[in-house]
Every structure is written in structure tokens, then in C-alpha cells.
Amino acid sequence: MVLGVFLGLLLTCLLLLSLWKQNSQRRNLPPGPTPLPIIGNILQLDLKDISKSLRNGLFSAVGGPGKR
């Protein structure tokens, strides 16, 4: 019983700390999708074609003198 209450309080404190830390770091950033604490932006992936959604758009980075 005591262990369950302790773990519940610990989990609540960690969640609140995570949310507070996210909000304090986002003040100087441009608006964008807010990630969830544990799973991040994984809900924005297209599950039908994961390789395409990882290649284009959200999780891609273009380097060099032009778009490939």
C-alpha cells in the first residue's frame, strides 16, 4: 500500500516536472506541434507508409546546396 502511494506520487511529480520543463524551454521557439511527454510526435507519423513520413516532411533534414 505504501509502495503504491509512493510510486504514484513519484510518477505525478515526474510528470509535472517534465511538463514544467517543456513549457520553460519553449518560450523562445517558434510555434509548432507540442510533443507529448513520453511518446513525442510519433502520433503525427503516417502508419500506412512510415518510411515515406520519415523521409519527407516532419523528420527530414536537407543538407547541401539544394533540395534533393
Position 48 scores a pLDDT of 85
Give residue 14's pLDDT.
92
Dihedral of the CA atoms 3, 5, 8, 11 (nearest 10)? -60
Give CB contacts under 8 A, 24+ apart, made by 26-35.
none
Amino acid at 11: L
Residues 6 or more apart whose CB falls under 8 angstroms from that of 46 comprise 52, 53
Query: Which residues of the chain fall short of a pLDDT of 70?
Result: 23-29, 32, 38, 53-54, 56-68
3-state secondary structure of 36: strand
CA dihedral 50, 52, 54, 59 (to 10 degrees): -140
